[in-house]
A and B are shown apart, each in its own frame.
Chain A
Amino acid sequence: TQLLEQSPQFLSIQEGENLTVYCNSSSVFSSLQWYRQEPGEGPVLLVTVVTGGEVKKLKRLTFQFGDARKDSSLHITAAQPGDTGLYLCAGGWSNDYKLSFGAGTTVTVRA
Chain B
Amino acid sequence: NAGVTQTPKFQVLKTGQSMTLQCAQDMNHNSMYWYRQDPGMGLRLIYYSASEGTTDKGEVPNGYNVSRLNKREFSLRLESAAPSQTSVYFCASSEALQWEQYFGPGTRLTVT
Q: A88 is contacted by which of B42, B48, B97, B99 (Cβ under 8 Å)?
A: B42
A102 to B45, CA, bound (A): 12
A90 to B103, CA, bound (A): 14
A interface residues (Cβ-Cβ under 8 A, vs B): 2, 4, 9, 31, 33, 40-45, 48, 50, 88, 90, 92, 96-104
Q: Do the beta carbons of A41 and B101 come within 8 Å of each other?
A: no
Classify chain B's interface size.
20 to 34
Q: Do the beta carbons of A97 and B100 come within 8 Å of each other?
A: no
Task: List chain A residues, Cβ under 8 A from B31.
Answer: 97
A50 to B98, CA, bound (A): 12
Task: List chain B residues, Cβ under 8 A from A98.
Answer: 45, 48, 58
Q: Do the beta carbons of B4 and A42 come within 8 Å of each other?
A: yes
A50 to B100, CA, bound (A): 12
23 A-B residue contacts at CB 8 Å?
A2-B42, A33-B99, A40-B105, A43-B43, A43-B90, A44-B103, A48-B99, A48-B100, A88-B42, A92-B99, A97-B31, A97-B97, A97-B98, A97-B99, A98-B45, A98-B58, A100-B45, A101-B42, A101-B43, A101-B44, A103-B41, A103-B42, A104-B42
A103 to B37, CA, bound (A): 9
Nearest-neighbour CB distance to chain B for A11, whole angstroms, equals 15
A40 to B4, CA, bound (A): 15
Nearest-neighbour CB distance to chain B for A60, whole angstroms, equals 21
Q: Do the beta carbons of A97 and B94 come within 8 Å of each other?
A: yes
Q: Which A-chain residue is minimally distant from B45 (CB atoms)? A: A98
Q: Do the beta carbons of B106 and A41 come within 8 Å of each other?
A: yes
Nearest-neighbour CB distance to chain B for A38, whole angstroms, equals 11
Known A43-B103, A97-B98, A101-B42; further 11 A-B contacts with Cβ < 8 A:
A33-B100, A41-B106, A42-B4, A42-B90, A42-B104, A44-B103, A50-B99, A97-B31, A100-B59, A101-B44, A102-B42
